[in-house]
Amino acid sequence: MKLLKTQRDNEQDDVLETSMAMVASALSDPSRVSILCALMDGRAWTATELSVVAGIAASTTSGHLNRLLSNGLVICLTQGRHRYYSLAGHHIAELLENLMGVSMHPSKTHTSSTPVNLRYARTCYDHLAGELAVNIYEFMLREKWLAADGSELTLVGKMHFERMGILLDSHTRRKPCCPCLDWSERRFHLGGNAGSALFTFFLQKEWVTRTPGYREVNLTDSGKVAMYRLFELKIT
C-alpha cells in the first residue's frame, strides 16, 4: 500500500524543512556559536560582554544577536537602559550540548581536548555537567533513584530528594528528568527539572561555586564531604 501525501502535507513539510535549514544556518557561523556557548552558563549577558567573548566588534555582535533572536535561539530582556541576552530555554542548551558531542572527532582512543577545569564540572544551562555530574548520574542509576532510561525519578529517588530538601517544580511543563549526553565525557548526566533542582540545591548549600562569566563550577571542601556522604564519590 502506498501512502499519498496531500498538498497540505507537502506544504507543512516544506515549512518544517525551511525552518530547520534557517536554524542550521544560524548555527553555522563561529562567532554566533561562541555567543551561544557563552550563554550556556545559564545567565544573561549584555551585547558588549558577548562581543568580548566572541572577539568581534560590538556592531557585528548586534547583527549576530538579531540573527539568533529571529531563529528563536536566544531571548532578550530589557531592564532600564540595558538589554540582556540569554538562551531561549533548556531545550536550546540540550541542542547545543548534543551538537558539541557530535562535533568532536571520534577516535579509537578518545582523549578529550576540553580544559580540565571544565571537564570536571561545568554548567549545562541550569544543571550540572562534566565528570562530577556523570558520576552522580551513574550513582543514581545504580541505586535505583532513576528509572532505567533516566526519564523519571523512582519512588526511592523522590524520597532521597525530599530527605535532602530538594524542591521539585510540580507545575513546570519541562520533563521531570532526562538523561543529557555530556559532550566531554560521552556519558549521561542528569537534566530536566530534577537536574536543575539538584544544581540549585548544591549552590544553596555552597557545595559548589560558580566562576563569574564562565561555565566552570568549583567543588568546595564541604561539597567534597557531601558528595561522598550522598553519592559515595571520593574526591581528593
Residue ranges per structural domain of the chain: 14-88, 95-104+115-231
pLDDT value for 236: 75
CA distance 78 to 113: 37
- Say if pTM beats, i.e. exceeds, 0.85: no
Q: Where are the alpha helices (DSSP H) in the chain?
A: 7-26, 30-38, 47-54, 58-70, 90-103, 116-120, 131-142, 155-164, 192-204, 221-231
What length is written for the chain?
A: 236
- Domain 14-88: give its CATH architecture: Orthogonal Bundle (1.10)
Q: Tens-of-pLDDT digits for all 236 residues of the chain? A: 455 555 555 556 677 888 889 988 999 999 999 899 888 887 888 999 899 888 899 889 999 999 999 999 999 988 888 889 999 988 888 888 778 767 765 544 444 445 666 789 998 888 999 999 999 999 999 999 999 999 999 999 999 999 999 988 878 778 889 888 887 888 899 999 999 999 999 999 999 998 876 788 999 999 999 999 999 999 87
Q: β-pairing, 208-210 with 188-191?
A: unpaired
